Amino acid sequence: MSTETDQQKAELRRLFARRLPGKLRQIAGYVQRLQTGEALTGLGGQLVVQLEHSIRSCESFGFAACARLLQQVENQCLNPEPANYAPLIQALAHLAEELDGKPSLAPAEPQATQMEAPATDNLALQPLWLALPEQERTMLAGQLALFGFAASTVPQDGGAPVALVAEANEVGDLRARYGDQLPPLIVVADDDQITARLLAIRQGAAAFLARPLDTAALIEAIDEVSPASAGEPPRVLIVEDSKSQSMHYNKVLKEAGCSTAVVNQPLKILEALHALQPELILLDMQMPECTGLELARVLRQMPGWRTVPVLFMSAEENPEKQAAAMAVSGDDFLLKPVRADELKKAVLTRIARSRMQLAQLNRDGLTGLLNLSAMAQAIDNQCAQASRTGEPLCFAQLDIDRLGPLNESAGHGAGDAVVRQLARLLGRRLRKSDTIGRLGGDRFGVLLPGCRGDDALRLIDAVRSDLAKHPLLHGGHTLAVKLSAGVAQHDGGAPGALRDAAEKALQWAKDAGGNSARLAS
């Protein structure tokens, strides 16, 4: 298999892994609704279809533990006897938390609030229109199915499509036929010239792709133009004192696939913030208890809400006042009355960009692994998880021996090549449940849940041994790479203690001459 094909498969797996926590949370939400006895016509059948598809996808991409859990959920849903779904709901939430290091957003107990779920039960494969040549469409359909999309020609029944992928010369006819009902548009062209991109913009494209088409890039584009397609609905908090206007905004955003909460009394915003954990706040400027600008200033002083996007809504047409609001704490300004299409576009575009920026912030640019801050968060989360469940957990720190002299002899590009190679080797050799991050420079961290100290040491030492046996070729140079590692087992203490123990074990390996792995005592 070519290196390019390996890279494409790795990228597809990365994208699937990024979408998987949201899909698990979505399934947990619908199982919760079954648990509470809510009358949902056809939901059980839709859930089983989605579970079967998700199980196959998890198996295809190597997420065996996830596939097993989803199989348990399916078996429970197919059981006609009354069942307690709570343990499965909890397990889905915990697995989602482990996979992406984010706090669990598992559904809380139902309560008489204005919290709203998405209007549509979008559990089945999501329709996606492809106005592309037949051979290209057939090639993409199978891979798109792994990500939860049912690719078809235009038009097809089965619900509103999440996006339309079309060649530029097809857009005019489709626009004439569907008008404003056309889904978000992704234009495909034969070249990446600025003229082709300009034409796509003039046709109303939300994204642009040049041939040859790459599935990973297509999935990224779909997620950008339709954030709800990623499995976790966009979360929007609407703060508006007018009940009629807030109901209208709520209806529009629910139809767009958002999960929403409405606050008509701005001084009661805190409860909704903590319940929904919004990705965006839609904020009216003129309210009786406090102005939107004052409330935004308060939020910007509160840890956890300093960076959440805020969209102001107002009938204020004075550009100077609009600019003043934006300068203080806003991300966009919508002029009332806000049209439905304008509202959906502004909200979904902003959330898509925010998610993309967050993903980039969490990843190391050279290796694609978790960066230092994201890895620290993962350590905190998994230590808390291990303390709750009593399951073993180990953390390893790895350091490349004498990378400085190697850079001096073979050039700095050689050091980068070694770092990338080690990242790739760790990804291939370690278990799917392990979390890998780059801690900086030539140092890596690995979290090994369910693994005791001796087993973790053997696993890490096998990687070290393999790396030492197989020199790398780079720029005509043969690079002999040696690795030192320190492993520590979580003892129920603070995450910092686990990191410190692994650091001391690593230093012990270094002091012994390197090219070895040590277990903290």
Same domain, 193 and 241: no
Contact 513, 426 (CB under 8 A): no
Residue 499 in this model has a pLDDT that exceeds 90? yes
The reply to whether 445 falls in a domain is yes
Mean pLDDT, to the nearest integer, of 54-79?
A: 84
CA–CA gap between residue 324 and residue 303 (Å, rounded): 23
Determine, yes or no, domain membership for 362: no
Place of tokens 């230590």: 383
Looking at every residue in the chain, the average pLDDT score rounds to 80
> What does residue 83 show for φ and ψ, rounded to 5 degrees?
-140, 155
CATH number at residue 181: 3.40.50.2300
Q: How long is the chain?
A: 521
Backbone phi, then psi, for 494, in 5-degree steps?
-70, 150
Residue with tokens 């001459």: 513
**At 43, is the pLDDT very low, low, confident or very high (cuts 50, 70, 90)?**
low
Q: Is residue 464 part of a domain?
A: yes
40 and 8 both lie in a single domain: yes
Question: Between 163 and 105, whose confidence is greater?
Answer: 163
**Distance in angstroms (rounded) separating the CA atoms of residues 288 and 321:** 19
CA distance 152 to 141: 8
CATH of the domain at 432: 3.30.70.270
**Structure confidence at residue 188 as a pLDDT band (50, 70, 90):** very high
Lowest mean pLDDT among 187-196, 290-299, 399-408, 464-473: 464-473
Beta bridge partners of 130: 165
Helix (H, G, I), strand (E, B) or coil at 479: strand
Distance CA 224, CA 222 (A): 5
The answer to whether the CB of 112 falls within 8 A of the CB of 26 is no
Q: Which domain holds residue 76?
A: 3-100
Helix (H) or strand (E) run with residue 45 in it: helix 43-61
Number of domains within the chain = 4
Give pLDDT, residue 135.
86
126-131 and 149-152 beta bridge pairing: parallel
HSE-up of residue 308 (Cα within 13 Å, Cβ side): 24
Same domain membership, residue 203 and residue 171: yes
Residue with the bigger pLDDT between 190 and 160: it is 190
Which residue, 65, 100, 135, sits at the end of a domain? 100
Reported confidence tier of residue 59, pLDDT bands at 50, 70, 90: confident
Residue 361 lies in a domain: no
Same domain, 471 and 497: yes
- The pair phi, psi for residue 498, each rounded to 5°, is -65, -45
pLDDT in tens, 169-180: 888 888 888 776
In this prediction, residues 20-30 reach a mean pLDDT of 81
- pLDDT, one tens digit per residue, over 270-285 is 888 877 889 999 999 8
The 10s digit of each residue's pLDDT in 306-360 is 788 899 888 766 666 666 666 665 667 888 888 888 898 889 888 888 877 776 7
- Residue 334's beta-bridge partner residues? 313
**With pLDDT > 90 as the criterion, what percentage of the chain qualifies?**
22
240 lies in the same domain as 212: no
One domain, residues 385 and 460:
yes
Residue 112 pLDDT > 50, yes or no?
no
Question: CB neighbours (10 Å) of residue 150?
Answer: 17
Residue 161: burial class (beta carbons within 10 Å; 0-12, 13-18, 19+): buried
Confidence at residue 140, expressed as pLDDT on a 0 to 100 scale: 84
Residue 109 has pLDDT above 60, yes or no: no
Continuous segment of H or E residues that includes residue 149: strand 149-152
pLDDT-derived band at 237, boundaries 50, 70, 90: very high
Same domain, 163 and 225: yes
The reply to whether 247 and 214 lie within a common domain is no
Residue that finishes a domain, picked among 201, 230, 259: 230
List, in sequence order, the alpha helices (H) in 128-268: 134-146, 168-178, 194-202, 215-225, 243-255
Residue 77 has pLDDT above 90, yes or no: no
| pLDDT of the residue at 93 | 81
Q: Are residues 469 and 447 in the same domain?
A: yes
CB 228 within 8 A of CB 204: no
Please report whether residue 365 resides in a domain: no
- Alpha-carbon dihedral 283, 220, 369, 479, rounded to 10 degrees: -150
Asked if the structure places residue 105 within a domain, the reply is no
Please name the residue that has the structure tokens 């979904």. Answer: 348
Report helix, strand or coil for 285: coil
Instruction: Tell me the C-alpha distance between 484 and 400, whole Å.
Output: 6
Q: Does residue 377 fall inside a structural domain?
A: yes
For residue 399, which of 272, 503, 255, 309 has the smallest C-alpha distance? 503
Beta strands in 280-390 (DSSP E): 280-284, 310-314, 332-335
Residue 121: inside a domain: no
Question: Do 467 and 341 have their domain in common?
Answer: no
Greater pLDDT, 38 or 165: 165
Which helix (H) or strand (E) covers residue 72, if one does? helix 64-78
Domain identity same for 502 and 397: yes
Q: What is the mean pLDDT of residues 227-248?
A: 84
Q: Are residues 163 and 181 in the same domain?
A: yes
Q: Say if CB 387 and CB 260 are below 8 A apart.
A: no
Q: What is the pLDDT of residues 411-462, one digit of tens each?
A: 666 778 788 878 877 877 787 778 899 998 889 999 999 899 999 999 999 8
